[in-house]
Chains A and B, each alone.
Chain A
Amino acid sequence: MKPEEGVRIELKQVTKAYGDKRVLDELNLVVEAGETLVVIGKSGQGKSVLLRLSAGLERPDSGEVLLNGVPADTYRIIPAQKKPFRMAMVFQGSALLNSLSVFENVALYLKEHGMAKGEDLDMLVMNALTSVELEHARDLYPTELSGGMRKRAAIARALATRPDVLLFDEPTAELDPLLSAEVAEVIHKIQSAHRMTIVVVTHNLVFARQVADRIALLEDGRIACSVKVSELLNAEYPPLRAFIEAAALA
């Protein structure tokens, strides 16, 4: 599949254990190109691990993680300029570099790989910052930002790489409902502006409903069920129902 057609993510029989604990157990999952999939599940079920495996940051103990047919760990070591498509990730704690300003954080990828300099660099970074309404904070440092601003700065850093795949790890963690809505709004804007494959892991079902095309439930190391967002409220699978009722959506 060519990158202009989007990037398909496929996890085949993926197992990952830490010590004696098997976090993912022969998990199978496909995220179609251009789809926004939200993976929900209780804390400690391995949602973040699933995302790190998809990003090629970790290797599965067995099974395969394929990005348009390319193993994720192989993709990770391809030099930036030679990558067949681009993948970016927004981390739970934002993971901005504290020694750099917001502008420098967002510019880092482009500058580091010589993809833009001077006025071009300035323009690309400001575009990314404007898309998350953070242009006024360009000279601030991460420690001077609120939680919501940090999250938006991390999204801007990811967007500056012009990704074909965007992964979000608990984007609403530690955010109040208003800030969560802000992040959902940013994701909506990204979805309408780019054809991008997006995977979000969260335990916030309200947020999941706002941004997802499809919602998958991770349970006992496997995808227990997956439903289109329009069918969520009619889902009958008991653990998913429990989630829906706990989130007071029913």
Chain B
Amino acid sequence: MQAAGRLEAQNSQGILTRIGASVLYGLEILGQSVNWALRTLGSFGEIPKRAGLILDEMVRIGTSSLFISSFLAFFVGMVLVVQTADQLEGYPQEVLGSIVGLSMTKELGPVLMAFLLAGRAGSAMAAELAAMQVYEEIAALRTLDIRVESYLILPKFIATALTLPLLILYADIIGILAGAFAVAIDPAIHVSVNAYFHNLQAYLKFSDIITGMVKGLVFGAVTAILSCTIGLRARRGTEEISNATTSAVVWSFITVTVFDYIIARIVLIF
């Protein structure tokens, strides 16, 4: 009995220790991210000097995400129409246009594209910086008096924050058009394409599109800083590169979701 009690105490201590360690780890990442974010903001004066690197990053992020974002947005748009139509059985289906339009622009477009960006560009950033840290390239930059936040983080930060809103706009358009395509070809949907677009036009405001793009700006900036921070935390050993990649994606997903809620609340206040 006593032995069982001790084992139970050990187990519960183990769980508490693990929870405590996770909380500390999270706070450490948060603190370091804020630190890198402030240092990166302090390097904004060097944006003109880094214009070439920013453009290169934008092209890299855009080309690596464009095809898959088209694919994703297309099928999400179609699924949205099919599922909503099913739920609306017995009700007028004209509202499909506004439901797809508002869902894509305000929520699905920004969040899906942010997840996609975290999975593609964010993980690549974390891996790149982790490898540079492990192979002492970061230390080499420091001996050359080159600031990491200006030379490495700033271009990724600006490029991601600018590219994600554009990707979101693109995904919104593809998703809405895919919804129209589903309306046109699916025999279970009893609404015309014209009515779909008419309803979309009646309810979708320009501010909804801008809200989604502003979300993209924030998500992009947050993903870049988190991915760079996690990459730079790598110390020794190649396994830290793969760990950084996975951590960057997981932390970006969590943070994007939290910021999504915060922005949604702020927008509703105004």
Q: Could you mark each residue 81-107 of chain A with 1 if its beta carbon is under 8 Å from any beta carbon of chain B, else 0?
A: 001000111011101111000000000
Across the interface, which residues of A come within 8 angstroms of B143, CB to CB? 55, 57, 87-89
> For the complex, would chain A's binding face be called helix, strand, loop or mixed by DSSP majority?
loop
**What is the CA–CA distance of A224 and B135 in the complex, to the nearest angstrom?**
30
> For the complex, would chain B's binding face be called helix, strand, loop or mixed by DSSP majority?
helix
Of B25-33, B144-152, B158-166, B219-227, the segment with at least 4 beta carbons within 8 Å of chain A is: B144-152
Across the interface, which residues of B come within 8 angstroms of A87, CB to CB? 143
Closest to B144 in A: A109
B146 touches A57 (CB 8 A): no
In the complex, which of the residues B140, B142, B145 contacts A113, with contact meaning CB atoms closer than 8 Å?
B145
**A3 nearest CB across to chain B (Å):** 16
- The tally of residues in A whose CB lies under 8 Å from a CB in B reads 23
**B98 nearest CB across to chain A (Å):** 46
Across the interface, which residues of B come within 8 angstroms of A88, CB to CB? 143-144
A97 touches B145 (CB 8 A): no
A112 at the binding interface (Cβ < 8 Å): yes
A108 at the binding interface (Cβ < 8 Å): yes
* Known contacts A89-B140, A95-B140; A109/B135 CB under 8 A: no
Q: Could you mark each residue 51-66 of chain B with 1 if its beta carbon is under 8 Å from any beta carbon of chain A, else 0?
A: 0000000000000000
In the complex, which of the residues A76, A80, A91 contacts B140, with contact meaning CB atoms closer than 8 Å?
A91
In the complex, which of the residues B136, B139, B146 contacts A108, with contact meaning CB atoms closer than 8 Å?
B146
Across the interface, which residues of B come within 8 angstroms of A93, CB to CB? 135-136
**B86 nearest CB across to chain A (Å):** 50
**B130 nearest CB across to chain A (Å):** 14
Across the interface, which residues of A come within 8 angstroms of B151, CB to CB? 112
Across the interface, which residues of A come within 8 angstroms of B8, CB to CB? none
